[in-house]
Structure 1
Amino acid sequence: MSGIALGRLTEERKAWRKDHPPGFYARPATNPDGSQNLFSWQCGIPGKEKTLFEGGVFPLTIDFSEEYPSKPPKCKFPKDFFHPNVYPSGTVCLSIINDDGDWRPSISVKNILLGIQDLLDAPNPKSPAQQPAITLFLHNIEEYNKKIKSQTKLYPPPS
């Protein structure tokens, strides 16, 4: 099965290098021996303009299994990333990357990253992943907005 996954990831990498949204980055991690690990990608998702996330580029790791594209990858922000749909571990809760949700093998890395970018500014209160963030989002939006603005400053664009 890993041959299928490796082939698909090789194609994903080529497609990304040819055409990706401005401000995003996505590249395979580097193994200790210097080779590329196509099963683990280091990504950056820019905050959309005119949102609380504007000005930040948020680091995300995408880990693919040997069952990809039959099974979705795992997407993680840094531990304790503050967002209603991100678990304290950093794992993103989004239907298009959920085995039991809307995952389809035709969903590309580009689709995943754009979907997560949309989720940043438009949390889904029906699928909360962490209590503090969803509580503030629903009951104290001013404090929620302050926390998001503060967090955004922690992730300036790479130089």
Structure 2
Amino acid sequence: MASGGIARGRLAEERKSWRKNHPHGFVAKPETLPDGTVNLMIWNCVIPGKEGTDWEGGYYPLTLHFTEDYPSIPPTCKFPVNFFHVNVYDSGTVCLSILGAGWQPSITVRQILIGIQDLLDNPNPNSSAQSRCYQLLTKNMPEYNRRVREQAKRYPSLV
């Protein structure tokens, strides 16, 4: 079987598993093309902010871009451009160890999304992707938290 077949087969299984059982508030589904076909290589997701954190109340859109080399290579995970977080580049790309050097082919879409949700309220200042966020996180935490709460209001629940 070609590597593309492996990627698509794995993603079809992930989709099936997700539909049977996924964490409350999360959304993860492959893109539907204009002709009604499903593109397993791009998933549109939503990550809810954890209760009891400054991220609570926000439902953050995230896109997973898979390649034909998946699961040998992790997907690229992107929030909207200029998403406010220390570990998210201005392009929206998430900087997280399990999506880089810590990647293992056994990591599932579910684990990726839960890992990113955890990253929201537990940023890693040692792997900063945005200098303005880093400066606020390390020098003005009240302002950092205010900006997080402001961002949460920009991503309300769609239901």
TM-score, normalised to structure 1, is 0.98
Pair 1:69 & 2:87 matched = no
> What is the rounded CA distance, in whole Å, between the counterparts of 1:155 and 1:134 in structure 2?
22
Instruction: Please name the residue that 2:4 is paired with.
Output: 2
Q: Provide the C-alpha distance between the structure 1 equivalents of 2:130 and 2:106, rounded to a whole number of angstroms.
A: 29
Q: Which secondary structure does the structure 1 equivalent of 2:126 belong to?
A: coil
Deviations 1:84-137 (A, max 9, x none): 000000000000011xx1100000000000000000000001100011011100
Task: Report the 3-state secondary structure (helix = DSSP H, G, I; strand = E; otherwise coil) of the residue aligned with 2:51.
Answer: coil
Distance between the aligned counterparts of 2:35 and 2:138, measured in 1?
47
SS of structure 1 residue aligned to 2:15: helix
CA distance in 2, matches of 1:145, 1:153: 13
Aligned amino acid, residue 58 of structure 2: G
Q: Distance in 1 between matches of 2:115 and 2:145?
A: 21
Q: Distance in 1 between matches of 2:158 and 2:47?
A: 11
| Paired amino acid for 2:139 | H
Runs in 1 of length 4+ with deviation above 3 angstroms?
A: none
Secondary structure of the equivalent of 1:126?
helix
Task: Measure how far apart 1:158 and its partner are.
Answer: 1.2
The match for 2:150 is 150
Deviation at 1:62, TM superposition (A): 0.2
Structure 2: 5+ residue stretches without partners:
none
Code of the aligned partner of 1:147: R
Q: Which residue type is aligned with residue 106 of structure 2?
A: S
Which amino acid in structure 2 is aligned with residue 85 of structure 1?
N
TM-score, with structure 2 as normaliser: 0.98
Residue aligning to 2:97: 95
Matches within 5 A, 1:6-155: 6-98=8-100, 101-155=101-155
The CA RMSD over aligned residues, in Å, is 0.5
| CA distance in 1: counterparts of 2:144 and 2:18, whole angstroms | 34
- Aligned partners of 1:111, 1:89: CA distance in 2, in Å? 23
In structure 1, stretches of 5+ residues that fail to align are: none
Q: How far apart, CA to CA, are the structure 1 residues paired with 2:115 and 2:19?
A: 19
Output the CA distance in 2 between the equivalents of 1:11 and 1:59. 22
- Letter of the aligned partner of 1:81 in structure 2? F
